Structure 1
Amino acid sequence: MLEPENEKRDRRDLADSLKQLRKAAGLSGERLAARAAMSQSKISRIESGRVLPSVADVERIMQALDVPADAQLDILTAARSANVDYVSARSAARLGIWRRQAEIKALCEASTTVRHFLPVIPSGLIQAAEYARSVLTPVIEGDTARDVDRAVKARMEAQEVLDDESRTFRFLLTEQAVRLKQAPASVMVKQLRHMAAVSERPNVDLAILPHTAPITSPPLNIFVIYDERLATVEMFSGTVALRDYRDISYHLNVFDYFRERAVSENDARRLLNSVADEFMRGPD
């Protein structure tokens, strides 16, 4: 399901199915557009495969076509499948990790609120350059090769989106993500101080889930939510993009669950500076 060729086939099949349903209902594209409260051009782009409809779009189209509930299941399943993308780490490395940083910047620029859930590592948007270099340098056998210099440069350039105060950025880290020594102690100190400084920005909410917080659900994956239209979930092997509104709603609930148990503002800065002091006292 997640291979590129299968993704393309899923999208083609969905477009063809919606077109056939419209024809079977004896409706023109204009008539369907009116019933579904969509533009005729959007209906045309969906049926030609040029635009991927959201699950909500497909539900509206099927309601407009009076498709029986039992006949909707397969189409909705196809829509949910088509609204999941997977990009492997190897594919991203072949294209250039720096390109991914440019994509992240573009996604942020197209969003009003961006939420980052970070159980194991700070977001690239709040990484100091030396720390970014450390975490972007391959160290595990099987890690994909990459142009580290270019990737670090692109990551620093992506951080320019934080300067736009019309956008809100919410970073939610676990204490593990703060304490995990992913670079030499001197670099960790700079990284922690950098995050404390970033948290002072008026458009940034940086919160930390302390080890002492009572939780009954484990913080499993890194994910980012762009407004309420897209969620990306990171794994060792790659990134999954979710567009089904139910998946996005669930991830928003997960974010809120942990955010309610986190510390922020001065409390978060005190924790960051306290951990930085510990790194300063310890061996490099």
Structure 2
Amino acid sequence: MGAVLRQARKSSGLSMRDVAPQIGLAHSTIGRWESGDILPTAADVAALLDVLKIDQADRDKIMALAQDSDNTAWLASGPAPYGVSQSMAGMLECERTAQHITYWSPLVIPGVLQTSDYARSIFSQSTLSPSKIQTLVTLRMGRRDVFMRADPAELVVLIGEQAIHSGIGGPPVMRDQLRHLHAMSKLDAITVQLVRMTGEWHPGFVGPFVLYKFGFQPTVVHIEHLQSGVFLVDDEDITAYESAVDAIRQCVMGPEESMDHVASVLATLEA
């Protein structure tokens, strides 16, 4: 929501100080809307759009987003339900609403394509309680449903080659995980490609990230850390990560070659 409002304001040529007195608010409040620190109500957004003189088509789209945000305010402030972090809640919302998603995961199979045992093996190495681990595993399994609906987002998953050799959870877990990865790659909406991590340095060596593209909202990047995550919305950041995807793609195997490689590793595990 904040990124959309910032884009709309910049397009109008008005500064936050120009807008604030016309809607009876401090310019710092508008700044906090745009940064995502606080979420404006639908009424706030309507007043802002009146000042910005947004055309009707764009106004309708922004108001629809604002009304949806009113119903999911926990994504931006306060505790998320069931103990899920705000970062995870934001990821779920992005997966639900994005039209195109690119995952880059150099060391592990991305969460959206993990089996429950593989995910549990990862979480079990943390300090989380067994009940919290079960909650996160269940949530992770439910994320797959988004890509199996009638009109799913287009999902491109770029995985570092070493991830399929990692042995997380032991041979039985890795066998099931690789079988699942191979099966999911057959879905029309999902493209899985392995990335060679040899040779010259490229931006993918820095770490994993997810690039979400929407029909109307600005593109968003999510970076997950050990105990938290961050969303990036600034144009300069988005451009840098889009360039990173392009650079990573220079090292990918084709989808068929990737799955042949997965099948080869799987055959070794099954021998």
Instruction: Tell me the TM-score range normalised by the shorter chain.
Output: 0.5 to 0.7
Cα RMSD, aligned residues only: 3.5
Distance 1:28 1:148 in 2: 49
Deviations 1:4-58 (A, max 9, x none): xxxxxxxxxxxxxx543557xxx856xxxxxxxxxxxxx979764497337xxxx
Q: 1:274 pairs with 248, 264, 267, which one?
A: 264
Q: CA deviation at 1:234?
A: 1.9
Cα distance change on mapping 1:245 and 1:50 into 2, 3 Å: closer
Deviations 1:259-280 (A, max 9, x none): 2320132111111111122233
1:259 equivalent in structure 2: 249
Cα distance change on mapping 1:135 and 1:52 into 2, 3 Å: same
The answer to whether the 8 Å contact 1:112/1:167 transfers is yes
Q: 2:135 pairs with 130, 146, 150, which one?
A: 150
> Which deviates further from its counterpart, 97-106 or 111-120?
97-106
1:121-270 correspondence to structure 2 within 5 Å? 121-137=108-124, 139=125, 143-145=127-129, 147-164=132-149, 165-212=151-198, 214-217=199-202, 219-227=205-213, 229-270=219-260
Cα distance change on mapping 1:126 and 1:156 into 2, 3 Å: same
Q: Does 2:103 match 1:105?
A: no
Q: CA deviation at 1:217?
A: 2.0
Specify the structure having the higher radius of gyration (Cα): 1
Q: CA deviation at 1:95?
A: 6.8
The answer to whether the 8 Å contact 1:102/1:154 transfers is no
Larger RCO (CA under 8 A, 6+ residues apart): 1
Please give the TM-score of this superposition, normalised by the length of structure 1: 0.64
The answer to whether the 8 Å contact 1:120/1:173 transfers is yes
Cα distance change on mapping 1:44 and 1:207 into 2, 3 Å: farther
The answer to whether the 8 Å contact 2:103/2:157 transfers is yes
The answer to whether the 8 Å contact 2:208/2:224 transfers is yes
Distance 1:123 1:197 in 2: 15
Q: Which runs of 5+ in 2 are unaligned?
A: 1-14, 36-51, 53-77
The answer to whether the 8 Å contact 1:125/1:155 transfers is yes
Q: Which runs of 5+ in 1 are unaligned?
A: 1-17, 30-42, 55-63, 65-90
Deviations 1:209-235 (A, max 9, x none): 1245x4332522110111152111122
Distance 2:79 2:165 in 1: 28
Aligned pairs, how many? 212
Cα distance change on mapping 1:19 and 1:106 into 2, 3 Å: closer
Residue identity opposite 2:223 in structure 1: V
Residue identity opposite 1:226 in structure 2: Y
Distance 2:33 2:98 in 1: 19
Cα distance change on mapping 1:234 and 1:98 into 2, 3 Å: closer
Please give the TM-score of this superposition, normalised by the length of structure 2: 0.67
